[in-house]
Amino acid sequence: MKSKYILPLAAILLSITLGFSQETLQKENMGWMENWTNFEVNKTDYPTYDEILPNVISSDLNLNSDITYLITGTVYVIEGATLTIPKGTIIRCDYEDPANLVVSRGSKLIAEGTNADPIVFTSNKSPNSRSNGDWGGISILGNAETNTIEGKENLIKGHFETQHSVYGGTNNDEETTILKYVRIEFGGKSHNQSKVNGLSLYALGKKSVVENIMVSYSADDSFEWHGGQVVAKNLISYKSNDDDYDFTAGFQGELVNVMAIRHPYIASSKGSYAIEIDGIKPSSIPEKSKITSVDITGAILISLADESNFNYTKAAISLNNQAKLYINDSKISGFSDVVRLDKSYNTLALIQESFNLDNSFFNIHKKGVILNNKLSDLAQLALKYNRFTKVFQHVSDLFSDPTDSANPQFTLKKSLNNYMVIQ
């Protein structure tokens, strides 16, 4: 391929081997993905359902892993009830009366799978007939803070019953949910002409647990956070139609070990990103500390682009309305650029404060930072101290086994010292 990464300030590009910490990237542990994940979900034959969940759960309900359940229409968990789902439970989700699970504010979802026995929410269609957006998704509503102009309380997306759709408050310490080893497959269907994501997390308290979650083939975003404060880890978004990880409404949290695998032909009409972050609504003036701010360690953001279709790709990351992102020990490959910044980033100081990429590697085919103002050239300096490929490379040339249909691997084939570094 002839396309190259071109930095306007060419003098800062040095092919050197000193001064760059590569241990984390070269010794990454992909073991967290083993056993519980499934990259061939359309081939999996799940058991037929035995019971239909009630559409209103107003008292504590414990499911049984020996029973396969069906959600048809919207199931609301309300009035402080707790829905507990044990390891190994399969929940099929109706496509004819599209399923949604809404856990209202003050109620709780405890879904604790294990590495050997994950919990699965999947389409009720048969193998090889499932597709993005067969059903809706899971929405969990908490009491933590947001930064929206409406104040502490807001309504979730999807036009669900209003009395069960309010989220937000002042309890940042709340244990809103416990999610461990959960797969969510073929969700993201709009509800009443309003978008629904595979997993929507509204104002989660910091004591919530979100670990080892895989969202596959969502018709909208795979994961979306609206405000709240939480640390989440070991997340996978696989071939989403829209964004893989979306943050808004003043989210203040951290992600550790996240993966996004995208196909260059699969995207929404407005454009899709591996990570999209919205800082503040233009009409609101929250405290500066409440601007959406995300820390990510150990991201693997991959577009499976090749010579025939890499021009269809966009930036891996989109930052809007002064959102903040610190991302480190990560790999970004197959996109046009690393990051797109909107017009709100109008000073060099704001750019430096808002976006930091550290100890990471990228393989792109355009400039690196998209910023349509006079700071465009200087904005490329946001990528300094990271390694990159001088010439855009196919994903199979870079990584160990990225196209394995059952167990893709993204360990770099060559030492990082083979690549350029921005010094």
Q: Encoding tokens for residue 224?
A: 């979306």
pLDDT score, position 14 = 42
Sheet holding 275-278, edge to edge: 56-57, 74-77, 100-103, 138-141, 199-204, 223-228, 245-248, 275-278, 317-320, 339-341, 369-370
Q: How far apart are CA 157 and CA 283, in angstroms?
A: 19
- List CB contacts of 18: < 8 A, sequence separation 6 or more: none
Residue range 171-200, pLDDT digits in tens: 999 999 999 999 999 999 988 878 899 999
Q: What is the pTM of this model?
A: 0.92
pLDDT score, position 29 = 63
Judged by DSSP in three states, 76 sits in strand
pLDDT score, position 305 = 81
- List CB contacts of 112: < 8 A, sequence separation 6 or more: 85, 86, 87, 119, 178, 179, 180, 181
The answer to whether the CB of 392 falls within 8 A of the CB of 362 is: no
Residue range 51-78, pLDDT digits in tens: 999 999 999 999 999 999 999 999 999 9
**Residues in the chain, pLDDT under 70:** 1-29, 149-152, 265-270, 281-289, 423
Q: Residue 422 CB: number of other CB atoms within 10 A?
A: 21
| Element containing residue 398 per DSSP (H, E) | helix 395-398
- List CB contacts of 46: < 8 A, sequence separation 6 or more: 68, 90, 92, 120, 122
The answer to whether the CB of 170 falls within 8 A of the CB of 142 is: no
* DSSP code string of 366-385: S-SEE--STTHHHHGGGGTT
Q: Encoding tokens for residue 150?
A: 């409406």
pLDDT score, position 27 = 45
Q: Encoding tokens for residue 71?
A: 């959600």
* DSSP code string of 254-299: EEEEEEEEE-TT---TT---SEEEE---TT----GGGS-EEEEEEE
pLDDT score, position 2 = 39
Q: How far apart are CA 258 and CA 271, in angstroms?
A: 21
Give φ, ψ of 140 to 5 degrees. -120, 125
